[in-house]
Amino acid sequence: MSKETDLFEKCRQFEDAKRIQAAGVYPFFRPIESTSGSRVVTHGRRRVMIGSNNYLGLTHHPRVIQAAKNAIDQYGTGCTGSRFLNGNLVAHEELEKRLAKFLGKEACLVFATGFLTNAGVLSCMIGRSDVIYSDRENHASIVEGTRLAIGDTIRFKHNDMEDLERVLRNTRSKYAGALIVADGVFSMSGDIVNLPEMAELAKKYNCRLYIDDAHALGVLGSKGQGTEHHFNMVGAADLVMGTFSKSFASLGGYVAGTEEVIHYIKHRARTFMFSAAMPPAAVGTVMECLNIADTDTSHIENLRRNSAKMARELSAMGYNTLGSRTPIIPLLIGDDMAAFAFAQRLYEHGVFATPVVSPAVPEGCALIRTSYMATHTDEDLDYALEVLEKLGREFGIIGSESRASELAQLAQTHFGQKPAHSAVVTAQL
């Protein structure tokens, strides 16, 4: 009996987004008409943006804008090919040298995007007899890289070093090479990886260590150099990757490590060899962002002050923020539709934030992902807090001991948050 079906039948049956649209709470693909500092104009109204990854607030910095224009004047608008063939600019190589020095690594390679970096590096490094040990909360680009890799992938509980050691103890001897992979700052929860213990386990079980610093570049470390610098453990990770689409105000990705490993990736990563190079304006933008981060700490100081204020005030209101110590401060809501409705009400009140629902988070653990920038003013933050307090009470998220207890249990069960964790990390901010 034939099993033939119409390939597009799945498209006709896809109703998830349509149900949310029909309910009037669809929060995605909102067209942004203009941006200025920490505010955006959407649907003709100016709103406070607390859902951006523009952590250092450099997208409108005059020096950064001028650097992008200068790069276009020198090289034109595009490279029209891969760096492997005809698209390799002097500017690409200058950026790689500067970035390697900034990160404290021997060498660096820049890709067209961060997604392509993870997909390319993981797939070219892992052979058929090798294994990846991957944190369950790792970014989708890491997940895609593990799917492309021909070796096995074993996942461990989020940021749980006991569980990581358990799987290492039970499986490591079955494989030749092994790579432990984790985000430095986890994009949904704002968690910071337990690098000290992870590095110890990598050494104990003869594994290499790979850290994704997409949300740590510009955020952790004295100048925003990333996770290794945050822990004063430069060299603990064998490979560090990151993106330029967040703190560095542009587009692109990088991987940094030893000369010999970067040389191998340069000639083996298909997403590098067969993708067009970072365009000149992006390279110029990133270089100037790097210059600013390296010489002016006022931006990261503002970022930390704003993040500390929001973590302190939101926790005091009664929100469960999963104990975040970074500019990513999630607000645990629970039900997916409640999160969509909450985000819509925020939007109606002039605050732009985004809901995160399953499968990006465990079922029943929907979040409002808020994130903060160096350029937020006290006026911006105070307005956002006023709206968040009003809606938190309206939705029964704050102001109820039983609800707080329920959310605390969810946080402990699904995110590994200890009951007293929030107060501790807020004090550290």
SS3 61: coil
Pairwise CA distance, residues 45 & 405, whole Å: 37
SS3 189: coil
Q: Which residues of 11-22 are buried (b: 16+ CB within 10 A; e: fewer)?
A: eeeeeeeeebee
- Spatial CB neighbours of 400, under 8 Å, sequence gap ≥ 6: none
Pairwise CA distance, residues 401 & 396, whole Å: 10
Of 105, 215, 223, 421, catalytic: 215
Is 215 annotated in the active site?
Answer: yes
Q: In Å, how far are 22, 274, 360 from 11, measured between CA atoms?
A: 17, 30, 21
Of 230, 246, 299, 421, catalytic: 246
Length of the chain (residues)? 429
Q: What sign does the dihedral 373-376-382-384 (CA atoms) show?
A: negative
Q: In Å, how far are 217, 295, 384 from 241, measured between CA atoms?
A: 9, 22, 33
Tokens representing 75? Answer: 């090289």
Is 246 annotated in the active site?
Answer: yes
Q: Which residues of 56-84 are buried (b: 16+ CB within 10 A; e: fewer)?
A: bbbbebeebbebbeebeeebeeebeebbe
- Spatial CB neighbours of 225, under 8 Å, sequence gap ≥ 6: 102, 103, 104, 217
Of 187, 189, 247, 315, catalytic: 187
Complete edge-to-edge strand list for the sheet that includes strand 239-243: 107-111, 253-257, 239-243, 208-212, 178-183, 131-135, 152-156
DSSP 192: B
Active site residues: 187, 215, 246
